[in-house]
A and B are shown apart, each in its own frame.
Chain A
Amino acid sequence: MVNYGGDEVSALVVDIGSSSLRAGYAGDDIPKAIVPSYYGYKTTAGDGDVQMGESAPENGETISKPPSDAKLYLGQNGPSIWREGMEIGNPVREALIVDFNPVPALISHALVDVMRINPSEHPILVTEPAWNTPANRERMAEIMFEEFHVPAFYIANTGVLNAFAAGKGSALVIDVGHSMASITPVVDGFVLRKGLVSSPLPKLVHAHARHILSNLTPTRRPIDLLSHQLIANKMPVEPGAPPKFTLREDRIPGTTESWKGWCESREVDEWVQSVAGVLDQGWNEQAAASRPARQYEFPTGYNTYFGPERYQVGEQFFFHSPQLVASNPNLPKNIPTLLSESLRACDPDLRQVLMGNVVLTGGGSLFPGFADRLETELSRNFPHVKIHAPGNPIERKYGGWLGGSILASLGTFHQLWISREEWQEHGKAIVGQRCK
């Protein structure tokens, strides 16, 4: 045990992201519980509340906060099951927790309902994005100590943890998540805050994909992004032919806008995940056309082949067309821009070290060809670039959790826990002091 520096004290690691919450034992290589961060809620249990549906915001971007007495539907059987009048919420926006009300319920669902453990028996390590606010981390500590009665608590940075998951103390972590893309320089286990940059780039990619699907093209009419919960039956059709399906008319009136928006974006994500890719040598019409087209079938039964357009989606990570830049002044920065911005803020001595230790992580980086394209972009400007991109999708998606699992199972780490005693003695200030 002592040989590799590990000493497991049955600590838990909780990693809250925009798309899912990961929880598990420190020392494991896969989180035991993965529950979606999205949750369904109803203000009054039972009858459908049409007023609530109407008052909900039209687009899914802004989060409607449920009243504290709302009934929550969490986990795998939460938002994905159609319920009359159920709204969808997400406590996390741009990787930050903006609404702490449902967070205890989410964590409790993962720890108690899925993992079947008593949180008051285990030290808990929670992750936070590098741009987390002090108020947020203190609130998280408060939830852990006051609501879950944990014996010890620590909050660690996802950038650092991703570097640890790759086995590096110093690294340039490129994290492309569900809603945020960030670049974090890590030196000796500390984030260099001046070099930290982030942008909601994955959202732009998502919006672009939705734009491709729901707009008329010369070869295709707009595609209905209806989810299977709303479809009673469908007939198989030829590729490109109009779909033949019947809607579940009984469900249409009770469907809320937020649930519909969540379903649509899920359909878009599914399509992106199965079809989209990145050209590894930069944008080239011919190269994109020469790649084989992929067939994809939507829940309505409509299916067709997607050719070059599937590479346009991934291209948004690296290059924005001048028209797009001109039309949208608040366009999220693409990855090459973020990289140069981050490196400019770093010491010249450090740049070579960081470029030799690039860690690519996050579920959004799982586009086929993403790592190759990144390497192409980087080696254009730097002579010695080494990218660490785990081939295993679990490691890539849950890199932050994995790093936390490693950290919390180290014997030398146990002196850093904020104990219950310290919390009661020093209060919130201890969080900022201990977790640098």
Chain B
Amino acid sequence: MAVSASDIRSALSLPSSSTPVPSAQPAPRKSQGQVTKKPEGISRELYALIGPSAPSLVAHLAKPRLKQKPNLSSGGKVKWEWRTFRNGARTDSLQLGHWAKATDDQNAEYPFTKYNVQSPSFAYSQDEYTQLLEDKDWTNEETDYLFSVVREYDTRWYVVHDRYEYLNGPARSLEELKDRYYSVCRKLIRNRPWAGDEASKAQLLNSYQFDKDRERMRKDYIASLEQRTPEEIAEEEALFIELKRLEQNERKFKKERDDLLRTLLGIDSGLPDIVAEEDGPSALSAEGFKKKKKNANEIDIPPTPSNIISLGPPPPKRAQSAKSVAYDAQHCIIRVEPPPSAITKVTHVPVHLRSFKLPAPKAAILPKVTQALTELGINHTRMVMPTRENCARLESLIEASTALIDTKKIVDRVEQDIRVLRVRLGRQSEGPGEDTKEGTPMEVEGGADGEGELKPEVDGRAQSIVSTRSGRGRKQSRRSISVSSIDTSASARVGKRQKRV
């Protein structure tokens, strides 16, 4: 192995020779701060051969390094010295000693002096007393004594009252002491020349306000609170808890309702102030249930006063200015008057497009009506131009088809009865025959063919199946409607609940 001079130097950590060393062979130990440093994990000889182009893998094989320790020894040394100091808050020359940083200013003020603050206190001259402050309950000497005690204890009134011992004076209550002190202060403020403006004077006066009788009454109340019997306390607690519970229910209900309205209508649905329903939590009871259901079915019926003798005053109509009427006409806005009864959640009709409120047949007979209209080539769920007249026509059409279907139902039933009776009669007259049984359905089918202009292929049995299915269909249809109106949303909830049950 060839050993160069620089190798020896680096092994012995000698300074490099004066001859320039090739940059590929830096002295690894010495060049701590240089960029081309020998990476750890490679022997010195190998590094001398391959130079700085060491494979990067070695870096991974190298020992993980710990975070460098903070260098505390150099520079951070703090010298502390025992130093006597003088406290500016003291009036005498007491010198106490403490440890301080040697770098700190020798003559700096003691840092705790600034906490020695005196609270402002009032003093009065003898003239002021005789002019302003005479009081039949208080002598001059006792007032002086009161002010000295208040000053001594910095208006800590409980302590002042505790330490107040005026010789040969009457026993004073805390309220009396406060009243005297504050009234004197108020008089002094009022009658002395005031440098600032009136507002600050009034504010200062306000801060010295004291109502003795009120304070005394308050204290009496507190004392009477303490003298309650355990039974009274328990009763009060129970009432309080009940009140809290009711409030909480109310809040919860209100929140739910608001959430629902926001979800269904959007924030800018122009809601009038909605009166919270009186029955609150009981809305979940069976009665509230029915009511909602009923309202849900009535949604499309134009609101009419069901109760003619209405005792309550009609709700105040919103004043419509001429301008807004013109605006409405221009934009084809038609306002729906709210029902005269109290505005509640269920009777509220938000802003809607007419096409969203197309008249729909009753859910029970919806499939049949749809079928009938389909035969006529009319789609009642979609209208190309849902003008007011068209809507009215559609409504009348649906009404007509509903009536038709009802009539047909009755006809079907009657015919069925007739057929059954006829068969029975035939049996009685002809006796039991084998063909008759098979023949009956054929006849029925034929009869249905003859009669049923609307649904030629539906027979009695099929009808019954439809009617049993209609229950489920109703729920579904309700839920699909619910998107467009709040009323049905209630029924949608009803549907869900029913399902859960």
- Chain A residues engaging chain B, CB cutoff 8 angstroms: 2, 5, 7-10, 123, 151-152, 187-188, 190, 192-195, 347-351, 383, 411-412, 414-415, 417, 419-422, 425, 436
> Contacts A188-B159, A190-B156 given: A349-B112 contact, CB under 8 Å?
no
Q: Tell me which of A151, A188, A194, A415 contacts B156 (CB under 8 A).
A: A188
Q: Which residues of A contact B93 (CB under 8 A)?
A: 419, 421
Report the minimal beta-carbon distance from A61 to chain B, rounded to whole angstroms: 33
Interchain CB contact under 8 A, B98 and A415? no
Some 27 contacts from A to B, beta carbons below 8 A apart, are A2-B112, A7-B112, A8-B99, A9-B96, A10-B97, A152-B96, A187-B156, A187-B158, A188-B159, A190-B159, A192-B158, A195-B162, A347-B219, A348-B222, A383-B233, A411-B112, A411-B115, A414-B112, A415-B113, A415-B116, A417-B94, A417-B96, A420-B94, A421-B94, A422-B92, A436-B152, A436-B153
For the complex formed, measure the closest distance between the CB of B188 and the CB atoms of chain A, giving whole angstroms: 26
Assembly CA distance A425 to B116 (angstroms): 23
Q: Are B161 and A419 in contact (CB under 8 A)?
A: no
Name the B residues within 8 Å of A349 (CB-CB): 219, 222
- A13 to chain B minimum Cβ distance, whole angstroms, is 15
Select one of A187, A383, A414, A436 contacting B96, CB under 8 A: A414
Return B203 CB to nearest CB of chain A, in Å: 25
- Asked if B329 is at the interface of the complex by the 8 Å CB criterion, the answer is no
Q: How many residues of B contact A (CB 8 A)?
A: 30
Question: Total A-B pairs in contact (CB under 8 Å)?
Answer: 81
Contacts A5-B112, A190-B162, A192-B158 known; list 19 others, CB within 8 Å. Answer: A2-B111, A7-B111, A123-B96, A151-B94, A151-B96, A152-B96, A187-B158, A188-B158, A195-B162, A347-B161, A348-B223, A348-B226, A411-B110, A411-B111, A411-B115, A419-B93, A420-B94, A422-B94, A436-B152
Neighbouring B residues of A194 by C-beta, 8 Å: 162
A347–B164 Cα gap in the complex (Å)?
Answer: 14
Task: Given the known inter-chain contacts A7-B98, A347-B161, A348-B223, please indicate yes or no for A415 contacting B174, CB distance below 8 A.
Answer: no
- Asked if B14 is at the interface of the complex by the 8 Å CB criterion, the answer is no
Chain B residues numbered 39-91 whose CB sits less than 8 Å from any CB in chain A: 87, 89-90
Indicate if B163 sits at the interface (CB-CB under 8 A): yes
Once A193-B163, A414-B87 are accepted as A-B contacts, the answer to whether A350 and B96 lie under 8 Å apart by CB is no
Select from chain A the residue with minimum beta-carbon distance to B237: A383
In the complex, the answer to whether B219 meets A419 with C-beta atoms within 8 Å is: no
Minimum CB–CB distance for B225 against chain A, Å: 9
> Is the CB–CB distance between A192 and B162 below 8 Å?
yes
Give Cα A411 to B89, complex, Å.
11
Check B90 against A415 for contact (C-beta < 8 Å): yes
Q: What residue of chain A has the Cβ atom nearest to residue B174's Cβ?
A: A347
Are A351 and B87 in touch, CB under 8 angstroms? no
Q: Could you tell me the distance in whole angstroms from the C-beta of B242 to the nearest C-beta in chain A? A: 19
Taking a contact as CB atoms closer than 8 A, the residue among A8, A151, A347, A420 that contacts B98 in the complex is A8
How far in angstroms is the closest Cβ of chain B from A246?
59
Provide the bound-state CA to CA distance between A417 and B90, in Å: 9
**In the assembled complex, how far is the CB of residue B381 from the closest CB belonging to chain A, in whole angstroms?**
66
Shortest Cβ distance from B157 into A: residue: A347
Shortest C-beta distance, B63 to chain A (Å), equals 41
Closest B-chain residue to A415, C-beta based?
B89
Verify A9–B158 contact, CB threshold 8 A.
no
B162 contacts which chain A residues (CB < 8 A)? 190, 192-195
- A195 to B226, alpha carbons, bound, how many Å? 18
Chain B residue contacts of A422, Cβ below 8 A: 92, 94
Candidates A8, A383, A412, A425; contact of B112 at CB < 8 Å: A412
Q: Roughly how many angstroms separate A190 CA and B160 CA in the complex, as a whole number?
A: 10
Chain A residues whose C-beta falls within 8 Å of the C-beta of B111 in the assembled complex: 2, 7, 411
Nearest-Cβ distance from residue B340 to partner chain A, whole angstroms = 52
User: B residues within 8 A CB of A436?
Assistant: 152-153, 163
A151 to B99 Cα, complex, angstroms? 18
Q: Which residue of B lies closest to A423 (CB)?
A: B92
How far is B153's CA from A195's CA once the two chains are assembled, in angstroms? 18
Question: Which chain A residues border B174 with CB–CB below 8 Å?
Answer: 347
- Chain A residues with CB under 8 Å of B110's CB are 411
* Chain B residues near A421 (CB-CB < 8 A): 92-94
Q: Are B87 and A415 in contact (CB under 8 A)?
A: yes
Q: A419 touching B159 by the CB < 8 A rule? A: no
| Contact across chains for A187 and B159 when beta carbons are under 8 A apart | yes
User: Which chain A residues lie closer than 8 Å to B156 at the CB level?
Assistant: 187-188, 190
A125 to chain B, nearest CB (A): 13
When C-beta atoms are compared, the residue in chain B nearest to A10 turns out to be B97
Q: Check B115 against A419 for contact (C-beta < 8 Å).
A: no
A420 to B95, CA, bound (A): 10
**Distance of A419 Cα from B92 Cα, bound (Å):** 8
Give the distance in Å from the alpha carbon of A420 to the alpha carbon of B94 in the complex: 8
Distance in angstroms from B332 CB to nearest chain A CB is 66
Please report the C-alpha to C-alpha distance between residue A414 and residue B116 in the assembled complex, in whole angstroms. Answer: 11
With a CB–CB cut-off of 8 A, which chain B residues contact A417?
Answer: 94, 96
Inter-chain contacts of B233 with A (CB < 8 A): 383
User: How many whole Å from A50's CB to the nearest CB in chain B?
Assistant: 52
What are the 4 A-B residue pairs with the smallest beta carbon separation, nearest first?
A411-B112, A419-B94, A415-B89, A9-B96
Query: In the complex, are the beta carbons of A190 and B87 less than 8 A apart?
Result: no
Q: Determine the distance from Cα of A195 to Cα of B222 in the docked complex, in whole angstroms.
A: 18
Which of B94, B116, B163, B222 counts the most A-chain CB atoms under 10 A from its CB?
Answer: B94
- What is the CA–CA distance of A417 and B87 in the complex, to the nearest angstrom? 11
Residues in A with CB closer than 8 Å to B159 are 187-188, 190, 192
Residues of chain B within 8 A (CB-CB) of A8 are 98-99
Q: For residue A419, which residues in chain B have a CB less than 8 angstroms away from its CB?
A: 90, 92-94
CA distance A123 to B89 in the complex (A): 17
Q: What's the nearest-Cβ distance from chain B to residue A11, in Å?
A: 8
Complex: chain A residue closest to B223, CB-CB: A348
Bound together, the chains give a CA A8 to CA B158 distance in angstroms of: 32
CA distance A2 to B101 in the complex (A): 13
Residues of chain A with a CB closer than 8 A to B223's CB: 348
Contacts of B153 in A (CB 8 A): 190, 436
Q: Are B92 and A9 in contact (CB under 8 A)?
A: no
Chain B residues within 8 Å of A415, by CB:
87, 89-90, 112-113, 116
With a cutoff of 8 Å between Cβ atoms, the chain B residues found around residue A411 in the complex are: 110-112, 115
Q: How far is the CB of A31 from chain B (nearest CB, A)?
A: 21
How far does the alpha carbon of A107 sit from the alpha carbon of B226 in the complex, in Å?
47
List, in ascending order, chain B residues with CB within 8 A of A187's CB: 156, 158-159
Q: Which residues of B contact A152 (CB under 8 A)?
A: 94, 96
Contacts of B113 in A (CB 8 A): 415
Query: Do A348 and B219 touch across chains, with their CB atoms under 8 A apart?
Result: yes
Q: How far is the CB of B240 from chain A (nearest CB, A)?
A: 12
Interface residues in B106-144 (C-beta closer than 8 Å to A): 110-113, 115-116
B193 vs chain A, min Cβ distance (A): 34
Give CA–CA (A2, B98) in the complex, Å. 12
- Output the least CB separation between B327 and chain A (Å): 62
Shortest beta-carbon distance from A98 to chain B in Å: 26
Closest to B101 in A: A1
Q: Which residue of A lies closest to B114 (CB)?
A: A412
B89 contact set on A, CB distance < 8 A: 415
> What is the CA–CA distance of A420 and B96 in the complex, to the nearest angstrom?
12
Beta-carbon nearest neighbor of A348 in chain B: B222
Which residue among B110, B152, B156, B162 has the maximum number of chain A CB atoms within 10 Å of its CB? B162
What separation, in Å, do the CA atoms of A422 and B93 have in the docked complex?
Answer: 9
Distance from A356 Cβ to chain B, minimum over Cβ atoms (Å): 14
Partner of B158 from the list A2, A7, A350, A420 (CB cut-off 8 Å) is A350
